[in-house]
Each structure stands twice: as C-alpha cells, then as structure tokens.
Amino acid sequence: MRKIDIFDSTLRDGEQSPGFSMNISEKLAMASMLEEMGVDVIEAGFAACSQGDFACVKAIADEIKNSYVASLARCTEKDCEIAWNAIQNAAKPLLHVFIATSDIHLKYKLKMTREEVLKSVASTVAFARSLCPEVEFSAEDATRSDREFLREVLQTALNSGAAVVNMADTVGYAQPDEMRELVAFMKANLSCDRDWKLSVHCHNDLGLATANTLEAVKAGADRVDVTVNGIGERAGNASLEETVMALKTREDVYGAYTNVNTKLLVPASKKLVMLTGSKVQANKAIVGKNAFAHESGIHQHGMIEDRRTYEIIKPEDVGFSDTRMVMGKHSGRHALEDRLRELGFQGLKPNQLDDIFEKFKLLAEAKKLVGDRDIEAIARMEVLNIGEIYKLDKYVINSGNILSNTCNIRIARNDGRYLDGFATGEGPIDAAYNAINDALKIDIKLLDYMIESVTGGTDAQGAVSVKVLYRERTVKGYGVDINIFEASIAAYLNAINTIENDPNGTIIGT
C-alpha cells in the first residue's frame, strides 16, 4: 500500500479561524500532541505575519524532533528569510511557499500577469531551496485556475527545487470528480529528475473537503493537508480524523495508509477543544460524543447481538473507551494520571500532576464522584496556567430583584499587594467584572461570556469562558468552580493574567 503523508495545518490555517486563536504555550501543547500522533508535517504558523506568530513557530521548531516543522511564506524572499529564521533550528525544517494562480486572484489581489507569477515562483522557490533543504510550493485557488497555467506553475516550482507541489482548493469550489481528474492530470503531466510529491489542501465551503481529499488520494496524491476537528478559515478544512479513518477503514478502496496513531484521535480532539474552548458538534464523525452512541431500539438490539451491525469502527481504535474506572475521593494518583492520558493530557510535569491531584481530591470531597469532564476542567486550568499575577482574595456580591447589583472585591498581586475595588452592574457578574476593573484601574471590555455545567446535578462545576478586549487585542480566559461567581471571576482574571504575561503586551495594574 501507498504511504500518505499527513500535513497538519491546525496551528496555521486552523488557528486563523475566529475563536480558535492560541497563545505560545497552547500551540506548544497542541504541537506536542500532533507529534505524538505521528503526523508527518506540523505547519506551525505564518512566521512573517507577526512577531507573535514568529515566536510561536520558532518555539515549536525548537521543541519538535520527529515531525517536519513548516512555516508558511508568501512568494517573496523577505517572507522566506523570516520563515527560515523561525524554523532553522528544527530537526526537520520545511519552508512552505505559496502564491495564487487563478485569474481572479491575479487580477484583483496580486495585480500580476501570468508571466510575472511564473518568474516570481522560479526565483522565490530557488531562493527558499538555498535556505532550506525541504521546500513545498502551494498554488492558492488552484481549482479555479486555468489547468495548463497551473501545470506550468507547478512544473516551474519543481524545476526550481520544490520537493512537494500542492494544489489548494482555497474556497472549497471543487467537486470530487473534478478533484480526482485534476490530480490524475498533474500526476501524468508533471515530471522531475528527483523524488517529488503531489499534495492537496481542501476547504469545506460546500461540505466536500474530506471527500475531495479522499478522491485526490485515489487519483495518486502523496500528501494531504488536514486539521484536527476540521477547523480552518470559514467552514474549515479537511478533517484529520475523518481522512485518516476513511483511509484505514476502507483500505480496499484507497490502498493507502498513514503513520497516524488513530488511538490518539479523540485525545487530540479533546485537547484542541480544551485549548480553544470551541467544541465539536455532538454528531461530528469519529470524535463527536454521539459518534458511537445508539438510542434506537433496533440499533441497540443489533449492537447487543454483534457490534458490527451498526459500527464500522471500534470506539477504542480512535481513543474512546467503553470501560471506565469510577473516580472518587479514594482514587489514587496513578489512576488519575492514567485517566488524564486517556483524555489527551500527555506530557504533564510532576508539579502539574501534583496540583491537579490536589484539586481533584478537593473536588472529590465536595462531589463524591468526579466525571471525565470534571477532570478535564481541572487539568485545563493547570495546562493553561500562564502565571497568576492577579488572584482572587475575597469578594462580596449583593444581588436581588429589589437591590442594586454590587460587588466589593479584593485582588491579591503576586508581589504581596492587595487591590480593592467596588462597582455596580447590570447583574452580579457585570458588577464583579466592573469591580475588578476598578481595583486594577484598567479599561477592559467584555466581548463574550459563556457558562456551562461541566457535569449534571446540583453539585456540578460551572465552567466559564470569556473573551475580553484590551487595547485592540482580544484575549480569552477560562475558569471553573462549583460556585459560578468564583468561576466567572477566575475566568476574567485568567484573561487579565494572559495580558500581563504577554512579553509584547503592556503591563497593567502597576
């Protein structure tokens, strides 16, 4: 069978989509997960986009040892130099150069002629190859490009030193039969005197990203671009978990395999949800919570007789488990550590495990039985710990239908000082946030507030996610507690601590 390379763009294309931005520690955590899964290439970001992106790409390149680490670069020498500076210390660096090839992009975006594009591709790919031993070239909006011109561009990239040429269905325009024919045409009409690979990058605007990716594999594509949970610009990208499991489940159709450890698909999905706060829908293929749920009586009867009647994939093969040990106050550290690994929290440091275990024990005393989502919530707070410069000391909230909503609050700084604040608000949470602003003498605007019950029951933890705006910068925060007021305050302070810990940010509350 043919080996198909998995090029994961979760940290670049995926992270560009609204609601999925990650800071450097979050990106490092996700990159480590992707490496453990066995993806061939981790596209760490767009180094020339910003100083923050450069720092993230460099940190990932310095850390990852087994996967290629790629940075995207526009078809300019300046972009290539910046990208190379970010990835040059990687064990396996890859420069990913792109330019649009469709007439509509040439006319309205690039304002270039076809001849100018060909010249730019030839010179920039050659320059990139002089810097980096592995170069991939991508044609943006390839599926809406003139086929012969696209072939000429890809051939030029190969002639100039690219080892991989990629065709991007940038706006999800292609239909599966069109993608299959396009890949077959390029495989038959491109040539190189050294080993080379053809790749595809499919978007999901018409819901066909995974289908187009799989048709490309059928036609001979050697590499596919995917993202965890299918996240990405607009409607997203081809889903890593769907693509990998389709190839594995239907080897008879595709005659291909990947190096991805499929037992880590669910943990990877959970980790991304944990890092971004954006959930997958319940009926999401492979990793959704209902992907292996059966409610219909007919289905249940069939499952009892033989699981194969209604399951073509074993849940355990993608990281779900049917058997669970009950976690409570008598559970030990090793049991908790095993459960954390199952939930996607690999590579935790001993001090992190100590803190999680301590919080787990406290929660177990209050709740008696602790569910997976409780454990995820505790671990998430530990993984996302970005240094507590500000911490809640004490507060009093007054609220009622005949009272004004007020909050007195005291915030402890890590230098031993205490800051007091008082404010009113539209409701108790608004009053608490206004009081924090008063204590720290800052102007932060709340953009989004979301609260959910981590588990069912009257003793459920409340998990609060917030997005705040500070000096034209959007920052997210997260808090969890049985007391929803404390969870809300923790989330707001978590966002403020993120701002305070940002080396490129402005120190506040001093």
* Predicted confidence pLDDT, tens digits, the chain (510 residues): 999 999 999 999 998 887 788 889 889 999 999 999 999 999 999 999 999 899 999 999 999 999 999 999 999 999 999 999 999 999 999 999 999 999 999 999 999 999 999 999 999 999 999 999 999 999 999 999 999 999 999 999 999 999 999 999 999 999 999 999 999 999 999 999 999 999 999 999 999 999 999 999 999 999 999 999 999 999 999 999 999 999 999 999 999 999 999 999 999 998 898 888 788 988 999 998 888 775 456 665 676 677 788 788 888 889 886 544 557 777 788 878 888 887 778 778 888 888 888 888 888 887 666 777 778 777 876 776 656 789 999 999 999 888 899 999 999 999 999 999 999 999 999 999 999 999 999 999 999 998 887 666 666 778 888 999 998 888 888 888 888 999 999 999 989 988 887 645 443 333
Q: Which residues 6+ apart lie within 8 Å of 336 measured at CB?
A: 327, 353, 356, 357, 360, 375
pLDDT given for residue 324 in this prediction: 47
Clarify whether residues 183 and 39 are in a common domain.
yes
Q: Which residues 6+ apart lie within 8 Å of 263 measured at CB?
A: 316, 317, 318, 319
Note whether residue 444 is domain-resident: yes
CATH of the domain at 442: 3.30.160.270
pLDDT given for residue 419 in this prediction: 96
Note whether residue 403 is domain-resident: yes
pLDDT given for residue 509 in this prediction: 37
Note whether residue 305 is domain-resident: yes
pLDDT given for residue 282 in this prediction: 86
Clarify whether residues 149 and 66 are in a common domain.
yes
Note whether residue 508 is domain-resident: no
Strand duo 256-257 + 2-3: pairing: parallel
Strand duo 462-470 + 445-453: pairing: antiparallel
pLDDT given for residue 508 in this prediction: 38
Please tell me the number of Cα atoms within 13 Å of 192 on its side-chain side.
22
pLDDT given for residue 21 in this prediction: 83
Clarify whether residues 312 and 394 are in a common domain.
no
Domain count, the chain: 4
Reduce the DSSP state of residue 426 to 3 states and report it. coil
Contact of 389 with 413, CB cutoff 8 Å:
yes
Note whether residue 12 is domain-resident: yes
Clarify whether residues 14 and 150 are in a common domain.
yes
Note whether residue 332 is domain-resident: yes
CATH of the domain at 202: 3.20.20.70
pLDDT given for residue 166 in this prediction: 98
Clarify whether residues 272 and 309 are in a common domain.
no
Residue 492 buriedness (CB in 10 A; 0-12 / 13-18 / 19+): buried
Which residue intervals of 309-464 are DSSP H helices? Answer: 315-318, 333-342, 350-367, 372-383, 428-440
Clarify whether residues 309 and 298 are in a common domain.
yes
Clarify whether residues 180 and 191 are in a common domain.
yes
Note whether residue 483 is domain-resident: yes
Clarify whether residues 432 and 346 are in a common domain.
no
Clarify whether residues 46 and 108 are in a common domain.
yes
Clarify whether residues 419 and 296 are in a common domain.
no
Q: What is the CA radius of gyration of the chain?
A: 25
What domain range is 328 assigned to? 324-383
Note whether residue 506 is domain-resident: no
pLDDT given for residue 178 in this prediction: 98
Whole-model pTM: value is 0.77
Clarify whether residues 130 and 252 are in a common domain.
yes
Clarify whether residues 316 and 399 are in a common domain.
no
